């Protein structure tokens, strides 16, 4: 399906294909009405009342979601990270980041839709940057001046947001070449370099995005493959067979491993599975202070979710 489309699918479009329209209460797929507020939930003739009671608490969030999704389609992400970081503007969460580096101290009563999209844009690099600091991981386990971030995901969003890794370069100026590799995603082009700010240019820094459509263990076991300095995995089902084979066939990486999850239950389950299977204990397993504030529709539950909501950090990935 994705190949036939002219553009890549938004997460909600992928989910719409996976989850057929059905009544929110009984799941029947015919004779449906749509909620006329959010246009995101359906009910059948018999369940109008039950639907209204159960759906009501999610309706506003879903409506907001639809709004953002419609605005996001075709919006170009504008960014200028040159003011980050500023020694006098210490931050320890996403709200602080938005206040100091997006709204430049003058925060409006309510954020604009672009601001919500911006939190989605910067969430992953900020999570890794501050996660490394709070888990007291040795961040610069580098070979020379090169730094490799391996992101294992099948969602194209991380690729679309890759320019935000410039924030990483601004804090860790020892890194000269930062390469973000997205593994598990098909893409037409092999890689690209981003334009960076004057500060990055004067330090001789570069930011490159690469893709590889294969499974992680296949990617990492190729001859001459550069070892990662950090590995990130999203919303993974660690009990899924392919994932298990992938994890067990990955050699010892001796680098921090981040598991990012949208829900607390997934984060908790991941922690238990990693302990049972690999005897690994996380250095950090909490709600993420740098989560995205952009809601995405969850077609499975009829509510919304936030990317990178929970973060689990293993300082050293050793089997």
CA 138 to chain centre: 22
- With respect to Zn ion, which residue has the nearer C-beta, 52 or 287? 52
Q: Residue for token digits 């990178």?
A: 308
Per CB under 5 A, 167 contacts Zn ion: no
Residue owning tokens 């994890």 = 247
Length of the chain (residues): 319
CB of residue 56 to Zn ion, shortest distance in Å: 8
The answer to whether 146 and 177 are in contact (CB under 8 A) is: yes
Q: How many residues bind Zn ion (CB under 5 A)?
A: 13
Site for Zn ion in 51-110 (CB under 5 A): 59
- Interface with Zn ion includes 23 (CB under 5 A)? yes
35 vs 182 by CB, closer to Zn ion: 35
- Residue span binding Zn ion (CB under 5 A) among the ranges 67-75, 132-140, 166-174, 249-257: 166-174
Instruction: Determine the Cα–Cα distance for residues 269 and 266; give it in Å rounded to an integer.
Output: 5
Does position 129 interact with Zn ion (CB under 5 A)? The reply is no
136 SS3 class? coil
Establish if 197 lies at the interface with Zn ion (CB under 5 A). yes
Q: What three-state secondary structure class fits 165?
A: helix
Rounded CA separation 229/138 (Å)? 10
Q: Choose between 55 and 271: whose C-beta lies nearer to Zn ion.
A: 55
Rounded distance between C-alpha atoms, residue 233 and residue 252, angstroms: 16
Among 200, 236, 261, 274, binds Zn ion (CB under 5 A): 200
Tell me how far, at minimum, the Cβ of 42 lies from Zn ion, in Å: 9
> Judged by CB under 5 A, does residue 268 bind Zn ion?
no
Backbone angles phi, psi at 79, to 5 degrees: -150, 150
Our finding on whether 132 is near Zn ion (CB under 5 A) is: no
> Which residue of 9, 16, 37, 77 would you call a contact of Zn ion, by CB under 5 A?
37
Q: Are 80 and 197 in contact (CB under 8 A)?
A: yes
Which residues in this chain contact Zn ion in the complex, by CB under 5 A?
Answer: 23, 25-26, 35, 37-38, 44, 47, 59, 166, 196-197, 200
């Amino acid at each position: 399906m994705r190949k036939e489309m002219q553009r890549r699918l938004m997460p909600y479009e992928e989910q719409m294909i996976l989850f057929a329209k059905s009544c929110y209460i009984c799941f029947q797929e015919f004779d449906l009405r749509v909620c006329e507020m959010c246009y995101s939930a359906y009910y059948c003739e018999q369940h109008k009342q039950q639907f209204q009671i159960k759906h009501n608490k999610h309706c506003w969030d879903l409506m907001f979601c639809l709004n953002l999704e419609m605005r996001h389609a075709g919006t170009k992400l504008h960014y200028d990270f040159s003011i980050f970081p500023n020694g006098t503007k210490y931050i320890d969460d996403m709200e602080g980041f938005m206040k100091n580096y997006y709204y430049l101290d003058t925060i409006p009563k309510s954020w604009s839709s672009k601001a919500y999209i911006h939190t989605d844009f910067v969430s992953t690099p900020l999570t890794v940057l501050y996660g490394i600091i709070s888990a007291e991981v040795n961040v610069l386990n580098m070979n020379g001046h090169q730094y490799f971030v391996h992101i294992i995901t099948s969602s194209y969003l991380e690729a679309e947001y890759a320019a935000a890794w410039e924030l990483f370069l601004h804090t860790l100026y020892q890194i000269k070449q930062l390469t973000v590799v997205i593994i598990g995603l098909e893409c037409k082009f092999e890689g690209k370099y981003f334009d960076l700010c004057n500060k990055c240019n004067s330090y001789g820094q570069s930011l490159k995005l690469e893709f590889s459509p294969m499974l992680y263990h296949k990617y990492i076991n190729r001859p001459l493959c550069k070892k990662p300095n950090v590995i990130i995995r999203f919303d993974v089902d660690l009990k899924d067979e392919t994932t298990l084979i992938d994890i067990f066939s990955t050699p010892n990486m001796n680098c921090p491993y981040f598991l990012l999850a949208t829900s607390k239950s997934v984060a908790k389950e991941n922690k238990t599975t990693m302990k049972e299977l690999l005897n690994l204990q996380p250095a950090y397993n909490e709600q993420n202070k740098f989560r995205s504030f952009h809601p995405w529709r969850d077609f499975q539950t009829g509510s919304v979710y936030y990317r990178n909501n929970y973060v689990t950090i293993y300082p050293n990935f050793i089997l």
